[in-house]
Amino acid sequence: MGNHAVGTAMGHAAQEAVRNRNSEETALAILDRICEPYRDSDAEFEVDSSDHEFESYTEPHKNAALGMLMVEAFAPNGIADLPKYIQMNNKRSTQGERNDAYDHWSQEVYDPFKARYDFW
């Protein structure tokens, strides 16, 4: 089992960083600042309560700051690719559409994110 405290800390730090974001600060710079202290850890990103509209801090969801920073930093076309991933959590999408969206997000965003910070 992974370390939920690490994922929660990064999720909360991302919320704060986005709230106070400098217009010149890149998503990658923010992620480097947030994630570097937790390098080479077994981070788990599930939310710590049911108060959220998303299940994981890394989801490509408008209210999941960490997930949105990840899309901005790692997706091939940045935020412009968000519609490609958003279907993974859309209850109206078919299972196939959700699976395709998840596969794209995993390969293009989540896996490079994990690799950059040596998360396992």
**In the chain, what are the domain boundaries?**
4-117
What average pLDDT does the segment 19-27 reach? Answer: 96
What is the model's pTM? 0.94
70, pLDDT greater than 90: yes
Residue 32, pLDDT score: 98
3-state helix, strand, coil in the chain (%, to 5): 60, 5, 35
Residue 89, pLDDT score: 86
The CA distances from residue 103 to 38, 69, 98, 109, in Å, are: 25, 18, 9, 10
Q: What SS3 class is residue 46?
A: strand
49, pLDDT greater than 80: no
